[in-house]
Structure 1
Amino acid sequence: MNQSPHRLNLFALTLLGALATTSLLVPPSYAGEASVAGPVAGTKVTEPYVRMMAREAYFRGWPMANIFNRRQAFKDLPEPGLMVITLIRRNGLVACPNQDVVYGAGSIALDLEPVVLQVPDFGSRFWVYQVVDLRSDSFAELGKMYGSKPGFYLLVGPDWNGKVPAGITKVFRARTSTGFVIPRVFQDDTAADRTAIQASLSGVDMYPLSQYDGKIKHRDWAKLLKFPAQAAGSGETKWVMPEKFFDELPALLKDAKPLPGEEARYAQMASLAAIAKADPQLKAAMIDEAKKPTANNGAAFGTDYFSRTAVARSNIFVNQQKETKYFYQDLDKSGTRLNGQNSYSVTFAKGQLPPVKGFWSLTLYNEQHFFSPNDLKRYSIGTKNKTL
């Protein structure tokens, strides 16, 4: 009995803290929230609460904002619609690149219309088309390891109910409207193979369903489109900006509907976005908090938010495990961090090169996760090297 007054006092102090306020919670409505009460409209919040929620929202939403902003950048390319592949020829677009494959990159906007992917005959080459949604989860299994055949593949949004035209090999349905596609096709380091691969690459393309006519379209990828110039700096392009994140948050929540169990969290994040819109002072606090930075399931993260964001910040387009396997090493055998002033050796016993069905490579990166300049102008070794 003597403890009851103390409990009541503590409870009262908690309420008083919540009522010492500077803004109102007015959560907008998103699909999937109907059964979740969420924060009560009109409840006032403190700056410490807003900072706490902003940090979590930024952590959870970072991968989605990354892919969302790639879509915004790609829409400015001089091609009809948003669906266009550009070969990656420079650092900055995606961290942790390799020299073993020819890359492509294209944003998809399935809320506008479905997208057709063209797959030419790659022969015996290793190839895979990575297709991810706004969350960076893969939703299409398309590559040599899946036994995929040459043909036309259709990507559709979550609400599309149209008619699939004749000639489409398979349909893949995304859980979000925004996504990204990265074809990868193996190429060795010889001049002969760089020439030989061009015939296949000319058939790699994607375009809106309205442009589909059942005939393979060919494109001369030697005439590259120019991706918007990277901002100053040697690292990856800054796709996520704390200053813009909370303005973008409503669009992210609307596109990537909550997974089972996320409804309450979505209601809280929607309320946070409403606060940012209504109160500049608290929005500034959110931005300040977002600037304080805090994987065995690549491209299949589900609700593993920690792994999703950790991988996204280092290498957002990591493949699923059945497509490729990445091993990163930052330390030497004694546990000391690798240093460019030292020399290191990696030894494979005779006849014991990595056992693979596609290819393997060993790549050296700098602190920004890009190729490290060196006198040999060699950044990796592996299956592609025919003269070493």
Structure 2
Amino acid sequence: MRIQRNRSILVGLLAGTLAVVVPSSVAIAAADDIQPSTPQTFSELSQPSPDVKMTPDYAQAIGRMAYIWGWPLVNMQNRRATITQAPQPSLMHGVIPVAPMNRLAMLTGYIKPTETFIACPNQDVAYGLGYFALKGNPAVIQVPDFGDRFWVYAMYDGRTDQFGTVGKPYGTKPGFYLLVGPGWQGTAPKGISGVIRSNTEFANVVPRVFMDDTDEDRAAIQPLISQIVAYPLSEFDGKMKTVDYSKLPSLGDAADTSGGETQWVVPEKFFDQLGDVLDRIPPLPGEEALYAQFRQLLAIADKDPAIKKALVQAAIDTDKSVIRPFLQWEHNGVPAGNGWNRSKNNAQWGVDYFDRTGTARSNLLDNRPAETQYFYTDFDSGGNKLKGDSLYAVTFPKGQLPPVRGFWSLTLYNDKHLFHQNDLERFSLGTKNKMLKYNPDGSLTLYAGAKSPGKDREPNWLPAPDGDFSLYIRAYWGKAGILDGSWQPPKVEKIE
């Protein structure tokens, strides 16, 4: 009988017919017990404590990542802090356009070859430069009527990501545009054509206006340049303002070009500056944990001299072993064919820290891919370093120039990614040059080397230093072959 009774109970359980009565309080407790116990938001997670006894080795491990991650942000912050000290729109060292906060200045022609403000400048456009602090301080950006001329106002946030779409590729109309910070909730006044919102309170605006290498175009561009102006919203009156940038005063003595690009990130000072960057630049989605680790590191270093010393050493070592190698193009971007690399995610880095930091060191302030694609190499077709004591030929077959709607150019840089000063005062060749000689079959051969390839070839020659150099192709407003990667740069052939 007992066996039969147990069998009945089992059948009842399986059939779901057994009714079990439990107190309601027990049922509620049981329901609560099966709820997830893992925190659902970052703020609910346990946070790193600044009171732990951290070892110097641990501090250096986290410090190396902080240095790699934060290098571009500290770089941008230090540039803004320096440039905006200008009392009025001016030329720093007689070369770089500088201006107070929330204003900009323009060059009236190509940038001078003595510039050291930034690596890999170009001599295809007239540049402008302005830095903005947008927390409660909107600024007006003027856009004149550029007609058919290529132009773009590249705008960068504190992470070196581009924001805004202002330029020829976007069909931007002439007018006044309001540049605002991420938290701005005001109303644009009448006469403003559009509002451009930065991702951070920090903003950097770099106008680029294409100019042919002719006296006629140098003259034609001046009225346009004079109307590229920025100023605080409080000065807006609906009238197009003009500035005669040819009369900008010069600030400071000529820069020393022997050391390469100006050193904007000093390893010994990096961790003294990182905290301010963390306060000013909010984390991207998923970066909250990084910020927490870095803040813990800084808090402990403030109290423990041994940890601070370890961090400084980590910065010095990482700068040498990780940051400097980015000056070698093989460590930048992705392979593009024929020994060249091409930029990847340029100015749209997101959490691509490798390419963000690599570009910040080697050629800061790229345009986003839809505006410009960059190709670069240190090697010839045989895999050997480019040397000035040899002569090289770069031949674009007929119909295979970089496919662009804007313009293209081939630029030569020395081993520090700056211009090589030469008697011809020639640093790039491309769309802007009207004297280029094409081959009988319609192809175009450009030459690079320290010695002239011969008088008949000199219009197509880029003079090189005696030592190492690199080559760099810009393709502005690329067509499909540029955007999808199907166009490949030609081989760099050693011919002498």
Q: Does the alignment reach a TM-score above 0.5?
A: yes
CA pair 73-35 structure 1, distance change in 2 beyond 3 A: farther
Q: Give the 3-state SS of the residue equivalent to 1:39 in structure 2.
A: coil
For structure 2, the residue ranges without an aligned partner over 5 or more in a row are 1-40, 89-98, 323-342, 437-496
User: What are the Cα deviations for residues 302-358 of structure 1, in whole angstroms up to 9, with x where unaligned?
Assistant: 111111101111111001000011100111001111111111001122343222111
Matches within 5 A, 1:300-315: 300-315=348-363
CA pair 254-41 structure 1, distance change in 2 beyond 3 A: same
Rounded to whole Å, the distance in 1 between the matches of 2:379 and 2:58 is 39
Matches within 5 A, 1:331-342: 331-342=379-390
Instruction: Report the counterpart of residue 8 of structure 1 in structure 2.
Output: none
Matches within 5 A, 1:82-93: 82-86=101-105, 87=107, 88-89=111-112, 90-93=114-117
Instruction: Report the counterpart of residue 303 of structure 2 in structure 1.
Output: 278
Corresponding residue to 2:151 among 122, 127, 131: 127
Q: Give the 3-state SS of the residue equivalent to 1:345 in structure 2.
A: strand
Rounded to whole Å, the distance in 2 between the matches of 1:168 and 1:35 is 43
Instruction: Report the counterpart of residue 137 of structure 1 in structure 2.
Output: 161
Match of 2:306, as an amino acid?
Q
Structure 1 stretch displaced more, 108-117 or 213-222: 108-117
Structure 1 contact 119–152 (Cα < 8 Å) conserved: yes
Structure 1 contact 113–209 (Cα < 8 Å) conserved: yes
Corresponding residue to 2:280 among 255, 275, 291: 255
Instruction: Report the counterpart of residue 237 of structure 2 in structure 1.
Output: 213
The reply on whether 1:195 has 2:219 as its aligned counterpart is yes
CA pair 346-132 structure 1, distance change in 2 beyond 3 A: same
Rounded to whole Å, the distance in 2 between the matches of 1:123 and 1:228 is 36
Structure 2 contact 142–229 (Cα < 8 Å) conserved: yes
TM-score (norm 1): 0.88
Structure 2 contact 283–291 (Cα < 8 Å) conserved: yes
Match of 2:421, as an amino acid?
P
User: What are the Cα deviations for residues 276-315 of structure 1, in whole angstroms up to 9, with x where unaligned?
Assistant: 3223332222111112231310010111111110111111
Rounded to whole Å, the distance in 2 between the matches of 1:35 and 1:69 is 34
**Which is bigger in relative contact order (C-alpha 8 A, separation at least 6)?**
1
Instruction: Report the counterpart of residue 326 of structure 1 in structure 2.
Output: 374
User: What are the Cα deviations for residues 59-85 of structure 1, in whole angstroms up to 9, with x where unaligned?
Assistant: 101111111111101221013851232
Instruction: Report the counterpart of residue 331 of structure 2 in structure 1.
Output: none
How many Å apart are 1:174 and its aligned residue?
Answer: 1.5
Instruction: Report the counterpart of residue 329 of structure 2 in structure 1.
Output: none
Structure 2 contact 85–100 (Cα < 8 Å) conserved: no
CA pair 352-307 structure 1, distance change in 2 beyond 3 A: closer
The reply on whether 1:118 has 2:142 as its aligned counterpart is yes
Structure 2 contact 136–181 (Cα < 8 Å) conserved: no
Structure 1 contact 33–267 (Cα < 8 Å) conserved: no
Corresponding residue to 1:62 among 71, 76, 99: 71
Corresponding residue to 2:427 among 349, 360, 379: 379
How many Å apart are 1:231 and its aligned residue?
Answer: 6.4
Rounded to whole Å, the distance in 2 between the matches of 1:228 and 1:319 is 29
User: What are the Cα deviations for residues 10-69 of structure 1, in whole angstroms up to 9, with x where unaligned?
Assistant: xxxxxxxxxxxxxxxxxxxxxx96344331241110000111111110110111111111
Rounded to whole Å, the distance in 1 between the matches of 2:198 and 2:44 is 24
Corresponding residue to 1:97 among 121, 136, 142: 121
Rounded to whole Å, the distance in 2 between the matches of 1:54 and 1:192 is 54
Matches within 5 A, 1:201-240: 201-226=225-250, 230=255, 233-240=258-265
Rounded to whole Å, the distance in 2 between the matches of 1:33 and 1:74 is 37
For structure 1, the residue ranges without an aligned partner over 5 or more in a row are 1-31
Rounded to whole Å, the distance in 1 between the matches of 2:256 and 2:43 is 42
Rounded to whole Å, the distance in 2 between the matches of 1:41 and 1:372 is 49
Corresponding residue to 2:292 among 245, 249, 267: 267
CA pair 216-36 structure 1, distance change in 2 beyond 3 A: farther
Structure 1 contact 67–179 (Cα < 8 Å) conserved: no
Rounded to whole Å, the distance in 2 between the matches of 1:385 and 1:231 is 29
Rounded to whole Å, the distance in 1 between the matches of 2:313 and 2:171 is 48
Structure 1 contact 104–184 (Cα < 8 Å) conserved: yes
Instruction: Report the counterpart of residue 55 of structure 2 in structure 1.
Output: 46
Structure 1 stretch displaced more, 343-352 or 188-197: 343-352
Match of 1:82, as an amino acid?
M
Rounded to whole Å, the distance in 1 between the matches of 2:177 and 2:344 is 28
Match of 1:134, as an amino acid?
G
CA pair 202-242 structure 1, distance change in 2 beyond 3 A: same
TM-score (norm 2): 0.69
Structure 1 contact 246–276 (Cα < 8 Å) conserved: no
CA pair 264-225 structure 1, distance change in 2 beyond 3 A: farther
The reply on whether 1:241 has 2:241 as its aligned counterpart is no
Greater C-alpha Rg: 2
Q: When you count strand as a share of all residues, which structure comes out higher? A: 2
